[in-house]
A and B are shown apart, each in its own frame.
Chain A
């Protein structure tokens, strides 16, 4: 297999854009990535396009990738549509990387694009819940999270206030990010006093609807050097797993931990080498659990990480410097590639006011969907300068 590097990234601002279409959002992200890579557009040989909910909420009922690429001026190349719920974006990146690593093509595009806002909010909510067949029974993700969290809080003495601190940190980071949907820093009281969704979750701990697109162009190291003088970011691992069922009286490794273990192995690094991470905080407390599942701290130490500020932009291992899903926004299919864009900017030293101190290794974690009693998919990607 050949080394694969990211030569260009781009994203739209995330937000509510009623007047913009999927092709319009996708075109902006693609051309920003093309500009960032300084690449002749015709050198792109294949495209993987992630979208999760466009089929339900927009007029495009199929081949969304081809429609989006057409709007950006790309015709004739192979285009593959990718759907893996919230982890669609990372799944597209993984496939694009494999095209290059295998020698099949030298230059590949991964795009994530999503439009969740429409003129009927109820229709948007229903579409977002449609990733599981359980919605018709009244199944709610926040309640599920809440149940897991209550057990975890009891086991390790974690408090609701510590969860609120995650939302506060991420809102502060989002305020520094011009691409973020929400740019207002929140206080602990703002978070704790916002509407209860399902204890310990409050409104400001939860991500909400968003529109947007993000893209990455990957290629071989040799090709990349011809296009750009910017630091090259290597995709050292991009590992994808599905969930498992819990078997009574048998240990169950969380799929995030399993994906991370595979990624560390492939990249030849350990959690102690990670200098910056973007993780899937669909609900703020998930970030604390992920510190442990990704090995960034020991079991039961998630609360201490946030109390001591270790995951702040200025901390020892900054997590979600972009603002994460709650502040930056969560346009489902675009989220994974927006995480990648943030880590690329961080590793190149281009992250502006939210730049962390000289990172060499970055990680993203991107999970989504629900099947029986586990997430449907999870991808962990490790990028190296």
Chain B
């Protein structure tokens, strides 16, 4: 599955989404990325990825698709020095409390992978970008979160 890219794709290398239907990748600088989740119209439970049945209400036709803007705070994180074949180590893995109310797992990017780079409660935002390269050099594109840049020093 290929997508045109707003970064510089290497010649004859593809950008491949890690999974279809999970997030929207901006096609121009004017657009914003979002995650594709769902919200229960009865109880308000928010899920990402999207669920067809609410785990609280367990009724049919209560979950509605929802675009999650991708603003949140770090709930917890860990610097991991082990990785599966094809993935970079170290990585920062974490759980993000989204503004919309869900708590989701994500890789955290945009900072040095060390315990000092991040703080619990720090503001983070969604980025869609390269997760890794596959054996053929194609870019696997996924969702990640990065700290929000602030004007404050330190």
Residues in A lying within 8 Å of B, measured CB to CB: 122, 125-126, 129, 134-140, 142-144, 146-148, 150-151, 195-199, 244-248, 373
Cα A147 to Cα B80 in complex, Å, equals 10
User: Looking at the complex, which one of A147, A195, A197 makes contact with B95 (CB distance below 8 Å)?
Assistant: A147
Cα A199 to Cα B82 in complex, Å, equals 11
Cα A248 to Cα B91 in complex, Å, equals 27
Q: Is B78 an interface residue (CB 8 A)?
A: yes
User: Looking at the complex, which one of B56, B78, B84, B107 makes contact with A150 (CB distance below 8 Å)?
Assistant: B78
Some 15 contacts from A to B, beta carbons below 8 A apart, are A129-B84, A138-B142, A140-B93, A142-B80, A143-B80, A143-B91, A147-B76, A150-B76, A195-B81, A198-B78, A198-B82, A199-B79, A247-B55, A247-B56, A248-B101
Cα A134 to Cα B132 in complex, Å, equals 15
Q: Is B59 an interface residue (CB 8 A)?
A: no
User: Looking at the complex, which one of B56, B81, B105 makes contact with A198 (CB distance below 8 Å)?
Assistant: B81
Q: How many residues of B contact A (CB 8 A)?
A: 28
The reply to whether B19 and A138 contact each other, CB–CB distance below 8 Å, is no
The reply to whether B84 and A125 contact each other, CB–CB distance below 8 Å, is yes
Cα A245 to Cα B115 in complex, Å, equals 28
Q: Provide the residues of chain A in CB contact with B142, threshold 8 Å.
A: 137-138
Residue of B nearest to A196 (CB): B81
Cα A136 to Cα B103 in complex, Å, equals 19
User: Looking at the complex, which one of A135, A151, A195, A248 makes contact with B76 (CB distance below 8 Å)?
Assistant: A151
Q: Provide the residues of chain B in CB contact with A148, threshold 8 Å.
A: 76
- Interface residues in B104-135 by Cβ distance below 8 A to A read 105, 107, 115, 131-132
Cα A245 to Cα B132 in complex, Å, equals 29
Cα A248 to Cα B115 in complex, Å, equals 27
The reply to whether A138 and B78 contact each other, CB–CB distance below 8 Å, is no
The number of A-B residue pairs with CB atoms under 8 Å apart is: 78
Residue of B nearest to A149 (CB): B78
Instruction: Contacts A136-B19, A197-B82 given; indicate if A247 touches B77 (C-beta within 8 A).
Output: no
User: Looking at the complex, which one of B81, B84, B103 makes contact with A126 (CB distance below 8 Å)?
Assistant: B84
Q: Is B24 an interface residue (CB 8 A)?
A: no
Q: Provide the residues of chain A in CB contact with B84, threshold 8 Å.
A: 125-126, 129, 135, 138, 140
Residues in B lying within 8 Å of A, measured CB to CB: 18-19, 45, 55-56, 76-85, 87, 91, 93-95, 101, 103, 105, 107, 115, 131-132, 142
Q: Provide the residues of chain A in CB contact with B18, threshold 8 Å.
A: 136-137
* Top-4 shortest CB links A-B: A143-B80, A146-B78, A143-B93, A122-B85
The reply to whether B82 and A139 contact each other, CB–CB distance below 8 Å, is no
Residue of B nearest to A246 (CB): B103
CB distance from B37 to the nearest CB of A (A): 13
User: Looking at the complex, which one of A140, A147, A246 makes contact with B82 (CB distance below 8 Å)?
Assistant: A140
Interface centre among A125, A137, A146, A246 (most CB of B within 10 A): A137
